[in-house]
Amino acid sequence: MASTTTTTLKLALFTVLTLLSLHAVVSVTPLHFQHPLDPLTKQEILAVQTIVRNKYPISNNKLAFHYIGLDDPEKDLVLRYETHPTLVSIPRKIFVVAFINSQTHEILINLKLRSIVSDNVHNGYGFPVLSIDEQAVANELPLKYPPFIASVNKRGLNLSEVVCSSFTMGWFGEEKSIRTLRVDCFMKESTVNIYVRPITGITIVVDLDLMKIVEYHDRDIEAVPTAENTEYQVSKQSPPFGPKQHSLTSHQPQGPGFQINGHSVSWANWKFHIGFDVRAGIVISLASIYDLDKHKSRRVLYKGYISELFVPYQDPTEEFYFKTFFDSGEFGFGLSTVSLIPNRDCPPHAQFIDTHVHSADGTPSLLKNAICVFEQYGNIMWRHTESGIPNESIEESRTEVNLIVRTIVAVGNYDNVIDWEFKASGSIKPAIALSGILEIKGTNIKHKDEIKEDIHGKLVSANSIGIYHDHFYMFYLDFDIDGTHNSFEKTSLKTVRITDGSSKRKSYWTTETETAKTESDAKITIGVAPAELAIVNPNIKTAVGNQVGYRLIPAIPAHPLLTEDDYPQIRGAFTNYNVWVTPYNRTEKWAGGLYVDHSRGDDTLAVWTKQDREIMNKDIVMWHVVGIHHVPAQEDFPIMPLLSTSFELRPTNFFERNPVLKTLSPRDVPWPGCSN
């Protein structure tokens, strides 16, 4: 009888947990009202499509939408809306970049009036974000191109097993640029892991306006790497499997500790807004934290997102020299965002948010499970063991619960897992984790002993070279710490020698703080000398007189290794420093410029800061580069485990004392069939 009761309890518990998990997968309810920073809705995208088509009928115009996004409202209006949402009306304006009859148009639309406010033609360098549609058409061209078919036959390959992918070409000093792509092709025979099976030695250039191959070369024939042991689909893999992992379930008997109302999130002492943009991807805005001592919410971050991702490969040969990608500006982080897999990408208790993206013809499409939100348990918030008091033994520990906002951006061969982690202690931890497939170059080399010259990478498998490369993520961080007027401080740690005999010590270290007056003062290369970097509000001080602020705790710094006059580095000059600070300017959003494809580096963060504008006690933006130098290893092949990095934005004299001193650990949950 006892056995039957236990079984019944377990079955009932399993049913409840299953229902809870199913419930968590359901997207949050639609918005009952629209926040001024909300992502574009399906109806809004359709309205934009109609308005632009009315001016440029597709019956006699060649029209393609490359960017449809929210035109940032005036910041002071948004802040007033936050205080008095029913009293402040903010016009919903949409910024459109469209390619119309071979010209790039910048169109501003007032949605309420359903009218075009302005329509300007871009005459400078660079082209807009590529559309998925045009890349798909370009990728099919080689399969019907006789010279390519002949090259495939010459290699003894099966054309029906060939698949192609498009790559941006950058700029290398050409006087005139046209919209072109390089197309590389791969074998899908016996494995879906196409990127590890490149067909090496062929150059294919496609003119996107003509949509035809305009350049073709077939050089030396290198071996196509084997498909053996490259399949990553579990349905296609054979035992043995391992290491064995035991099942785990999560259960929140009180329900989730957060609430999502539309795109606004409340959790613990935090409130913030989740936005989405087809270029930036996820956008975190209006992050404020409740101060228990002051009995009020205090704003920390007005807006944060990844402005650009620069990925330069380090093979200068004809096959690879052009592979210096700007994933956000060329391919679109939002356009490349993928649906999250419940119970795999996010835990069972996660909640999901859907969004919409647009195609080249302006038609909206639903992106299910674009973002997930969940609580993470099990870390330590703070603890102490006190053994210094006679006859007393004191152990005090508090469980940490954090809130994670997650999205995944898959650009070609790499998947970028992007997290924004919020802590009750006041910290915000943006994190990046990389998985996916190495960029592989085919070779006839099967063993390291055969290498006679620089192969620009590592031999990770027979006939497979994983090319050296970098990942430089540029974060846009518009701090508003207790208001819009902030300053940037660098506190250097300096050694002092004791020479007057006043101590038995010979040295100690102390601090020296400088406030950056202009943009040039704030260009920081992290790691050269020990220093603390902080955004402070010089107008508000703590009870003991310190300026309230937030400190940047960086990851292991990575610095660009290309020469500054190299063409990719001219375009990616925003990586020349790890930290930049600029005065807030709503038009300065993209560190690599508005038009990145075939750009020339004339509209980047590095160019804007040459103005050397004042930044002391102003509305300022911190730009932070998080980098990874990737030297491939065999463990990264055929698909790499997560490689992660993160940084922390940590309150520094922001609170009067530890803000989680009185935060209680979650209560323990009785579990059927388990003893205490």
The token duo for 290 is: 């409740």
Give how far Cα 559 sits from Cα of 131, 433, 550, 574, Å: 31, 19, 24, 11
Give how far Cα 171 sits from Cα of 102, 194, 208, 482, 598, Å: 19, 27, 16, 43, 5
Of 323, 287, 325, 326, the C-alpha closest to 307 is 326
In angstroms, the CA 643 to CA 385 distance is 34
In angstroms, the CA 69 to CA 309 distance is 19
H or E element that contains 533:
strand 531-541
Active-site pick, 414, 468, 473, 577: 414
Of 44, 501, 38, the C-alpha closest to 264 is 38
Residues 6+ apart with CB under 8 A from 22: none
Clarify whether 414 is annotated catalytic.
yes
Helical residues (DSSP H) of 250-379, grouped into ranges = none
In angstroms, the CA 145 to CA 250 distance is 54
- Name the residue type at position 386: E
Q: What pairs with residue 458 in β-bridges?
A: 466
Burial of 301 per CB tally in 10 Å (0-12, 13-18, 19+):
buried
Clarify whether 327 is annotated catalytic.
yes
DSSP 576-628: SSSEEEEE--TT---TT-S--BT--SSSSHHHHGGG--B-TTB-EEEEEEEEE
Residues 6+ apart with CB under 8 A from 395: 383, 384, 385, 386
Of 611, 610, 607, 567, the C-alpha closest to 591 is 607
Active-site pick, 327, 470, 478, 482: 327
Burial of 344 per CB tally in 10 Å (0-12, 13-18, 19+):
exposed
CB 540 within 8 A of CB 547: yes
The token duo for 474 is: 């540029």
The token duo for 247 is: 């099942």
Neighbours of 634 (CB within 10 A): 12
The token duo for 546 is: 């310190």
- Name the residue type at position 173: G
Of 320, 181, 312, 323, the C-alpha closest to 574 is 312
Of 391, 408, 283, the C-alpha closest to 339 is 408
CB 371 within 8 A of CB 407: yes
SS3 666: coil
Of 364, 357, 388, 427, the C-alpha closest to 654 is 427
**Residues with a known catalytic role:** 327, 414
